[in-house]
Amino acid sequence: MTRPAFELPVVGATPVDHAANAAAFTADAARTTWHDESLWFVREKRDRAAASVPEWEALRARASAIKEHALTHLDEYLVRFEENAVRNGMQVHWARDAEEHNRIVHGILADAGARRLVKSKSMLTEECGLNPYLEARGIEVIDTDLGERIVQLRGEGPSHIVMPAIHLKKEEVGDTFHDALGTPAGLDDPTALAAVAREHLRARFLAADATLTGMNFAIAETGGFVVCTNEGNADLGMALAPVHVASVGIEKVIPRVEDLGVFLRLLARSATGQAVTVYSSHVHGPRAGQALHVVLVDNGRTRQLAREEFWRSLKCIRCGACMNTCPIYRRSGGHSYGSTVPGPIGSILTPGIDLQRFASLPFASTLCGSCTAVCPVKIDIDAQLFRWRQRVVDAGYVPRSKALAMETSVRVLDRPRLFRALGAVARLGLRLLPARVERLLAGPWGDARELPAPPSTSFRAWYRRNRRGGRR
Amino acid sequence: MSTDAPARHDASGAGPSARDEILAAVRAALPPGVERPPAVETLASVLTAGSLAETFIAAATAAGAEVTSCDRAAARVALSSLTAGARSAFTFASAPSAAPGTSDPHELADLDLVVCEPALGVAENGAVWLATSDSMARAALLLAQRVVVVVAERDLVRDLHEAYARIDVRAHPFGAFVAGPSKTADIEQALVIGAHGPKAFTILLVHDHQTGEPS
C-alpha cells in the first residue's frame, strides 16, 4: 500500500482515476470494513459532541455568516491583518503560488542559516510540496504531528487532514518504526510506539533551528493567529526554535477575536468529538529574540473566490467531518483522491486547481448530502459536487463511455415508444440471461450485487390495469 | 489603502509585488458583500449538568485532567506536596513572573513539574487560559512532564464566548486555552496521553466555602 509522497498539482499531470484507486483499496474487503468503521467511530463521537450543545445549529449559522462576510470583504481583512501583524513584530510575506511560497520559506531559512526544521501540521505546505523543495536544498524537514511523522517515514502523504495515518494499522506503524527508529520487531502497542516517537521527536524539537506551523485562524482585528493541536507539537516548536514561519492560505482570515468563540466551539467537536483541542494557542508576536514570519498564500484561492458557484467552498475550517461521514471516503481511503485535501471538501476544492486532472473527484460521491449536514460552516458540498460534474462535462473531461451512456439515455428517454419497447426487452432479457452476464451489463454496480428479479410487467401497464375506473 | 502598507519582504525584485497582485485579484474576485451577523447573539446555555464548577469538573476530567475541588488551605497543602515530590519545578502566574535564572528555554528540557495560575477556566470544555510574555514560562508549559494549575472557582466562565469577552489576547505574545494533558490518537484511534507535552494535568479548583459546608 506504500504510495509515493503527494506530488505538487501540476496542470497537465496524469488525471486521477478515483474509481480505479478505490477499486484497488476495496480489493482488501476486511481492510475496507476496518477503515469504514474507524471513521464512522469518529463520526459518532462528533454526533454526541454536537448534540451536547443546544445552540449547535445557531453556531453553525453564525460561523457560516461570519465566513461569508469575511470572504466577501477579504481584501480589507487581509490588509488589516497585515497591518496589525506587523505592529505585533511579525514579518509578513505574500506568495502568489506554491513555488513562490516555497521560495520565500527557503529564503527565510537560508538567511537565518537554519538547517533543521520542525513542522507541525499544515495542509497548505503539503499542497505546495514544501518538504521535497526544502529537502532538495539540504534542509532536514521533520513533521512532528505523530500521524504526519508516520506517513513521512513511510514516504507517503497524509490520507486525512486531521488523522493523517488513519489508513494504517498499528502493525504497519510498528514495522515502519522498526525500520526507521530501531524499535523491536513486532512492537505494535500504540502507547509504546507513541512513547518512542515522543523521545525521537523531543530530541528534534530541542535541536531545531526553525519551526513551521500552519494557522487555523488569522485574526484581522488583532494581527494574531490561532493554532490548534492535541499533541502540543506546534507549541513546542514555537516555544523553542529561534525562527518561526507560519504559512496560511488567504481564506483563513477572520474579522474579530470574538469570532473565535464561535469557531473553536465548532472545530474540535466536528473534527474528533472533543469539546476543544488540548491546545488552542494564540500567537500575537514573536518571543523575545525570535523571528516570526507569516506567509500569506493565494495558490488558486482568488480563482476559486471568483467562481460564483464555488466560492463558498473557501469557508472550510478543515475539521474533516465531511470525510468521516462520507460513504465513499470511508470505503476508498484518502489516497484514492490523489489530492492534498481528500473527501467531499477536497472534491470541490481541488477541481478548481486543475479541472482536467481532478475531473473524477466530483463523481466520487453518492450525492447523499451527509457532508453538507455535518459541515460546521454550512458549505453546500453536495450541491457543489453536482455543479462541478456539470463543469466537467462542459469541459469534455468525462470518459467517452460515460458520455455515450448519458447521450443514449437522453435519446431513449426522449422517445416514449422506444423506451417502452426497450423496457420489454430488458425485462425479458433479465429473466433469460444467466446472472453472470447480467452482472456484466450492470457495470460496477454488478460487482457485488445481484440484480433484483425483473417485474413481469412495466409500471405503466400495471397502472393502466389498476387505476380507479381504469380499463380492466 | 495599499499605498501606506507596512514594509515587507518581497521575493520578486521587479514588476508588481505579490501583495499588490494578490489584493488586486481578491478585489476582482469578491462576491457580492454579505453583512456581518449581529455582534452579540444570545445562545442557549450548555450548562445542563448543574453549576459552573460541576460542568467544568466533568469537562476537564473528560479531557484527561485530574481535578481536585478544595478550599484554599487544602490547595496549599496539595501544592506543597506536589512540588516537594518533584525533581524540578517551575512556577508562573498569568502575569509575567519574576525573571528566572536563565533565559534559554532549552535549559528546561528535563523539567519535571510546572505550576501555574490561569486567568480563567471554561466550564463547557474544561480548558484554562494560560498567557505569558515570559519565554521560559511558555516553554515550561510544554516541556514539563506534569502540569499543575490552580484555578479559583470564581474565575470559571460558562463558555468560550464569555472567555473571550474576559481576556485580552493581545496582552501577551502567547496565550492558550489548554484542556488536559497532551494527547494523540494517531495510531488506530488509540488514545495515548502525553504525546509531546505534559503526561499529567492536575487542576486544583479552589473554592471559598468553609470545609464541610455544602457547596
pLDDT one-digit tens code per residue, A198-220: 999 999 999 999 999 999 999 99
* pLDDT surpasses 80 at B50: no
Residues B202, B82: contact at Cβ < 8 Å? Answer: yes
Q: For the purposes of burial, counting CB atoms within 10 Å of the CB of A42, is it exposed (0-12), middle (13-18) or buried (19 or more)?
A: buried
**What was the pLDDT predicted at A387?**
98
Disruptive mutation site among A59, A233, A278, A302 for chain B (greatest number of B CBs within 10 Å): A278
**What's the length of chain A?**
472
What count of other Cβ atoms lies within 10 Å of the Cβ of residue B14?
5
**DSSP β-bridge partners for residue B177:** A280, B129
For residue B22, tell me if it sits in a domain: no
Q: Give me the pLDDT at residue B24, please.
A: 98
- Chain A contacts in chain B segment 72-111 (CB below 8 A): 103, 105-106, 109
Q: Which residue of A has its CA nearest to B124?
A: A275
Task: Chain A: give the shortest CA distance to residue B66, in Å.
Answer: 14
pLDDT at A165 over 70: yes
Residues within 8 A of A (CB atoms), B 191-210 only: 192, 194-198
* CA distance to partner chain A, nearest, from residue B213 (Å): 31
Query: Can you give A399-411 as a three-state secondary structure string?
Result: CHHHHHHHHHHHH
Q: Is A286 on the interface with B (CB under 8 A)?
A: yes
Residue B99 is predicted with a pLDDT of: 47
Report how far residue B191's alpha carbon sits from residue B184's, in angstroms, rounded to the nearest whole number: 6
Q: Is A450 exposed, middle or buried (0-12, 13-18, 19+ CB in 10 A)?
A: exposed
Per the listing, cell 380492466 goes with: A472
Residue B98: domain span: 52-207
The answer to whether the CB atoms of B23 and A79 lie below 8 A apart is: yes
User: Within a domain: residue B143?
Assistant: yes
- Lowest-pLDDT range of A87-101, A141-155, B107-121: B107-121
Residues 120-159 of B with CB under 8 A from A: 122, 124-127, 131, 135, 138-139, 141-143, 159
Q: Output A341 or A10, whichever has higher pLDDT.
A: A341
Domain membership of residue B36 (yes or no) is no
Q: What is the predicted ipTM?
A: 0.91
For the purposes of burial, counting CB atoms within 10 Å of the CB of A136, is it exposed (0-12), middle (13-18) or buried (19 or more)? exposed
Identify the closest residue of chain A to B190 by CA–CA distance. Answer: A190
| Average pLDDT value for residue range B159-177 | 96
Q: What percent of chain A has pLDDT over 70?
A: 97
Cβ–Cβ of B37/A282 closer than 8 Å?
no
What pLDDT sits at residue B96? 41
**A363-391 confidence digits (pLDDT tens):** 999 999 999 999 999 999 999 999 999 99
Instruction: Give the residue-averaged pLDDT of B114-129.
Output: 95
Mean per-residue pLDDT, A74-79: 98
Q: What is the predicted pLDDT for the residue at A432?
A: 85
Total domains in chain B come to 1
Higher pLDDT, A279 or A464: A279
In chain A, CATH 3.40.50.10420 sits at 18-303
**Secondary structure of residue B134 in the 3-state scheme:** coil
Nearest-neighbour CA in chain B from A223: distance (Å) = 9
Asked whether the predicted pLDDT for residue A10 surpasses 50, the reply is: no
Pick the residue with more confidence: B25 or A433?
A: B25
Asked whether residue A5 carries a pLDDT value surpassing 70, the answer given is no
Instruction: Answer whether residue B78 shows pLDDT above 50.
Output: yes
Whether the pLDDT of residue B215 is over 50: the answer is no
Q: What confidence tier does B88 reach under pLDDT thresholds 50, 70, 90?
A: confident
Q: Cβ contact (<8 Å) for B170 and A255?
A: no
Q: Which residues contact A73 (CB under 8 A, 6 or more apart)?
A: B30, B33
Q: Over chain A, what is the mean pLDDT? A: 93
**Residue B77: pLDDT above 70?**
yes
Does B36 or A232 have the greater pLDDT score? A232
Which chain B residues have a beta carbon less than 8 Å from that of A285? 173
In a domain, B215, yes or no: no
Q: What is the pLDDT at residue B95? A: 42
Question: Which of A117-126, A403-412, B143-152, B198-207 has the weakest average pLDDT?
Answer: A403-412
B110-143: buried (b, 16+ CB within 10 Å) or exposed (e) per residue? ebebbbbbbbbbbbbbbbbbbbbbbbbbbbbbbb
CB A368 within 8 A of CB A331: no
- Predicted TM-score (pTM) of this structure: 0.91
Chain B CB contacts of A282 under 8 Å are 131, 169, 174-176
The reported pLDDT for the residue numbered B48 is 56
Sign of the Cα pseudo-torsion (B135, B141, B143, B148, in order): positive
The pLDDT value given to residue A7: 40
The reply to whether B78 falls in a domain is: yes
For residue range A13-28, list pLDDT tens digits in order.
789 999 999 999 999 9
Residues of chain A neighbouring B203 (CB-CB closer than 8 A): none
On whether any CB of chain A is under 8 Å from the CB of B173, the answer is: yes
Q: Confidence band (pLDDT; 50, 70, 90) for A122?
A: very high
- pLDDT for A256-288, tens place per residue? 999 999 999 999 999 999 999 999 999 999 999
Instruction: State mean pLDDT over A429-441.
Output: 80
CATH number of the domain encompassing residue B195:
3.40.50.10420
Rounded CA-CA distance A345/A30 in Å is 26
Structural domain contains residue B8: no
Q: In CATH, which of 3.40.50.10420, 3.30.360.10, 3.90.226.10, 3.90.1150.10 is domain A18-303?
A: 3.40.50.10420
pLDDT for A455 equals 87
> Could B31 and A308 be called an inter-chain contact, meaning their C-beta atoms sit closer than 8 Å?
yes
Q: Is the pLDDT of residue A52 over 50?
A: yes
| Arithmetic mean of pLDDT over chain B | 85
- Asked if residue B74 belongs to a domain, the reply is yes
Nearest to A316 by CA among A384, A409, A222: A384
The cell numbers describing B61, all together, are 476530567
Please check whether residue B42 lies inside any domain of the structure: no
Is the pLDDT score of A161 beyond 90?
A: yes
